[in-house]
Structure 1
Amino acid sequence: MVSLKRIYTILGLVLGILILGLVAFTTWYTVDESEQAVLLTFGKVEEGVEEPGLNFKLPWPIQSVEKLSKETFSLQFGYEENEDGVIKEFPEETKMITGDENIVLADLVVQWKINEPSKYLYNADNPEEILRDATSASLRSIIGNSAIDAALTSGKADIEADVHDLLSQLIQKYDIGISILAVKLQDVELPNDEVRQAFTQVTDARETMNTKLNEANKYKNQKENEAVGEQKAIISRAQGDKAARVEAARGSVAVFNELYAEYKNNPDITKQRLVLETLEQVLPGAEIYIMNDDGNTLKYFPIRPLENTKAATEEGVKAKDE
């Protein structure tokens, strides 16, 4: 028979070996470069360990370690893509109303990481579910304050920025140890083909209207520029005519003053000269008729018609020679 002393000795040795093994295997741990660790003493969070490599602690169950990844995670809201690249959509999750009371389907990706492991582990039961709910609330809030045109076209960048800001505020308020890195809209589209077609027609009509307005403004500007140019040209011609007439008037005044000065010195000679100059200007274009004393017209030699006939004949002969 085996004595009790021997049994107790064997049990003591086994227990000692187990204790030594427990101490040997639970007083150290390693942290990878892509990991961060939380050290707990009797379940109470002591500190976070971020330095990679070998670290030491008190044996279990006095101290224990929880490890979390440092990687950047992606939350896919509104769809799910598996490892084979197959995308499964959840339209009920992404259906929302815009600020101008239109319905759109919007999905996005949120990139986030764990920045405070202790809060991520112990401040909430399911931080990722809280993040998904906060993402849904933020996106619906921003889309609900945006027009459908902005959501479908050029306003996506503003919507992303606004969603990022609002989501960051909510996550900070919930204090679950998460930081939001980026928010990226994937697809924003209308719910069915009929609505898409109607929206496309409205968009095309708006583009046509804008094109016509631009063409009208261009034509208006062209005509205004032409009118301004014509106005300047008329004013310039008028100013030129004014200057020419003023100078002509000054010239006439100067001539008159000279004639008047000559007239004062020699009235008779000046008067005779003026009469002769006037006759020289008038007589070449005058028709001369010889009249009787009783007022009857006498026959006269038609010099003017003969001169005209002679001139026409000479021109005809010259043209024939050429």
Structure 2
Amino acid sequence: MSAKQLMQGTGFLFGAVILGIIIFTSWYTVDESDQAVILTFGKVDETHQESGLHFKLPWPIQSVEKVSKETFSLQFGYKQKDGEVESFPSETKMITGDEYIVLADMVVQWKITDPESYLFQAEDPDKILYDATSASLRSIIGSSLIDDALTSGKAEIEQEVYSLLSELIDEYGIGISVITVKLQDVELPSAEVRKAFTDVTDARETMNTKINEAQKYQNKRKNEAEGEKDAIISKAQGEKTARIQAARGDVAVFNELYEQYRLNPEITQERLVLETLEQVLPNAELYIMDDNQNTMSYLPIRPIEKQAPKENQSGGEGQ
């Protein structure tokens, strides 16, 4: 084989290699779960999130970096694999605001929302996220009370950790967005400490129960006293109204008597005497006497008064 033929063969082989590189590096596919970043001479040119077959300039002009669009889970303080959980107490041990030691682990749901920043802003964005999660959780637990961390305050702690962690991640600019945070376990570090805390918690619950019962009894007695007070006030107002009405009636009677007395003083005076005697001595018998103070045949006024209605009734029936 001559040198010319050798050069031709080499040129043909080199051309075939170049053609193969162009063909095999000018097309790329993007899965539904991925997003692609196009690099032109190592600099980010564009990002494709649509799945399917795409064209680019051949290597080494352009290259492709792919990152996932799926949601990732960061397990802080533990690792779960094949149904087994491995804990890391040294990472989850922290101090509460009232100086109790607790073990707290957490899971963080996150996504890559800026592929360019995720790929090139930091060398290890996953490690930054882990460290930021640790710092956020320790900061919030460190300002929380032990009761809140172990019982009803977990939701508020999660919300505060989410806010602080999101703020840190945005500040670092590593292309990650935090979706949710969830406390997995918050517990005391030893059985003795847990028992002591349980005893304290039980005593506090008993105290709160007694306080609630006392307040309930206090409210009951207060309501009863309020009811008695209202009843007394209502009764007094009723007596007040009755006395006012009675006084008004007495005034009206007095005015009427005075008018009769002014017109016929003697008759009115005798009438008043008789009415007074009738009130003072309701069962007394009355006798009629003459002007010489001699007793006449007495006239039983009461029996006549009792019989009068019957006679009138019989007379009315006869009529």
**Structure 2 regions of 5+ residues with no counterpart?**
285-319
**Per the alignment, in what secondary structure is the counterpart of residue 174 of structure 2?**
coil
Cα-to-partner distance string for 1:181-222 (whole Å, 9 max, x where unaligned)? 111111112222222222222222332233222222222222
Residues 15, 271 of structure 1: alpha-carbon distance in 2 compared, 3 angstrom cutoff: closer
The aligned runs of 1:1-322 (5 Å cut-off) are 2-82=1-81, 84-280=82-278
Stretch of structure 1 that moved more, 133-142 or 40-49: 40-49
Stretch of structure 1 that moved more, 176-185 or 267-276: 267-276
How many Å separate the matches in 2 of 1:164 and 1:117?
A: 22
Q: CA deviation at 1:255?
A: 4.2
How many Å separate the matches in 2 of 1:106 and 1:166?
A: 17
How many Å separate the matches in 1 of 2:232 and 2:79?
A: 73
Residues 258, 44 of structure 1: alpha-carbon distance in 2 compared, 3 angstrom cutoff: closer
How many Å separate the matches in 1 of 2:41 and 2:276?
A: 135
Q: CA deviation at 1:168?
A: 1.4
Q: CA deviation at 1:270?
A: 4.8
How many Å separate the matches in 2 of 1:281 and 1:173?
A: 103
Q: CA deviation at 1:279?
A: 4.8
How many Å separate the matches in 2 of 1:120 and 1:267?
A: 120
How many Å separate the matches in 1 of 2:173 and 2:267?
A: 120
RMSD over equivalenced CA pairs, Å: 2.4
Q: CA deviation at 1:241?
A: 2.2
How many Å separate the matches in 2 of 1:280 and 1:122?
A: 120
Structure 1 length-normalised TM: 0.79
Residues 48, 244 of structure 1: alpha-carbon distance in 2 compared, 3 angstrom cutoff: closer
Alignment partner, residue 309 of structure 2: none
**Structure 1 regions of 5+ residues with no counterpart?**
287-322
**Per the alignment, in what secondary structure is the counterpart of residue 61 of structure 1?**
coil
**Per the alignment, in what secondary structure is the counterpart of residue 98 of structure 2?**
coil
The one-letter amino acid of 1:98's match is: T
Residues 275, 67 of structure 1: alpha-carbon distance in 2 compared, 3 angstrom cutoff: closer
Residues 70, 285 of structure 1: alpha-carbon distance in 2 compared, 3 angstrom cutoff: same
**Per the alignment, in what secondary structure is the counterpart of residue 132 of structure 1?**
helix
How many Å separate the matches in 2 of 1:223 and 1:122?
A: 72
Structure 2 length-normalised TM: 0.80
Aligned residues: 284
Residues 60, 250 of structure 1: alpha-carbon distance in 2 compared, 3 angstrom cutoff: closer
Residues 45, 229 of structure 1: alpha-carbon distance in 2 compared, 3 angstrom cutoff: same
Alignment partner, residue 295 of structure 1: none
**4+ residue segments displaced more than 6 Å:** none
